[in-house]
């Protein structure tokens, strides 16, 4: 669990390095990495290019199915409602996330009635990447 | 308003013709069509390929911005939470939709606090395409 979250953190760090909000996500099946992505909203001119959406799209493309119910997703931050619904539409089995989103609270939960959710995985590390990114931008 | 919804209906009909759920969407700026799309979930192996997401992605790509707050979106069916949040993230000014979604109710409204929403545009036509599609599949 921590192994895969560390890989998601590495994706978040790559996003930060290119000036994007540092959030990373990956899709995993049977302990194998299927896809990974970091936030690309600004770089790609795409408001839907959150890490989760990109990781899900890549995984579905590589598995040739819009349903990936034997897969799990790891993401460094609790998903927004767009991503939560996408996780639900793809019927992903389990969501592991790192940092909780204090601003949004738990609004994603009701969009994921059938998904097992494990929050707070490497929470401090996941949160710190975001805090560092935004504090550097403020100065 | 009805002119653009008719174009969205044409996109829905094209989706039906390729076996996809007949929902169409378009992005409009200053009465000019910027992008149009129909549902491609099954064809593209992409659970996020709802008509709205595809239309927003195309519009943002063509306008080279992830914020398109001078644009409106037309869609034949009230958006799901994923699409509602995407409309909000793109800061689209106004949402016109055709059919109401009886199953989902109005859960999209709270995800669009800043967007003007006009529902029921050519509602009957928008609903009938969906009804015909699903009744043909049932027999």
| Distance to chain A for B50, nearest Cα, Å | 10
- How far is Cα B50 from Cα B86, in angstroms, rounded to an integer? 11
Q: Which residues contact B134 (CB under 8 A, 6 or more apart)?
A: none
A/B interface, count of CB pairs below 8 Å: 79
Query: Side by side, which strands form the sheet with B32-38?
Result: B32-38, B24-29, B72-77, B94-99, B116-118
Q: What is the DSSP letter of B42?
A: T
Please tell me the predicted confidence (pLDDT) of residue A62: 98
Q: Do B47 and A60 touch (CB under 8 A)?
A: yes
Burial A102-137 (b: 16+ CB within 10 A, else e): eeeeebbeebbeebebeeebbeebbbebbeebeeee
Kindly state the tokens that stand for A74.
């790891």
Round the average pLDDT of chain A to a whole number and report it. 95
Number of neighbouring beta carbons within 10 Å of residue B16: 20
Please write the tens of the pLDDT for every residue from A74-119.
999 999 999 999 999 999 999 999 999 988 778 899 999 999 999 9
C-alpha–C-alpha distance, residues A80 and A74, integer Å: 14
Whether complex ipTM tops 0.85: yes
pTM: 0.95
CB < 8 Å to A80, chain B: 85, 89
- What pLDDT, on a 0 to 100 scale, did the predictor assign at position B60? 98
Nearest to A53 among B48, B63, B81 (CB): B48
**In angstroms, rounded to a whole number, what is the distance separating the alpha carbons of residues A18 and B120?**
43
Tokens for B13, please give them: 């009909």
């Amino acid at each position: 669990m921590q192994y895969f979250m560390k890989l998601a953190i590495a994706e978040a760090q790559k996003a930060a390095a290119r000036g994007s909000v540092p959030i990373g996500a990956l899709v995993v099946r049977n302990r194998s990495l299927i896809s990974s992505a970091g936030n690309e909203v600004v770089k790609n001119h795409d408001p839907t290019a959150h890490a989760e959406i990109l990781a899900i799209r890549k995984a579905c493309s590589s598995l040739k199915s819009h349903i990936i119910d034997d897969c799990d997703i790891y993401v460094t931050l609790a998903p927004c409602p767009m991503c939560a619904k996408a996780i639900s539409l793809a019927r992903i089995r389990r969501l592991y996330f790192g940092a909780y989103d204090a601003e949004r609270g738990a609004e994603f939960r009701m969009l994921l009635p059938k998904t097992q959710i494990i929050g707070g995985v490497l929470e401090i590390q996941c949160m710190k990447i975001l805090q560092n990114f935004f504090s550097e931008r403020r100065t």
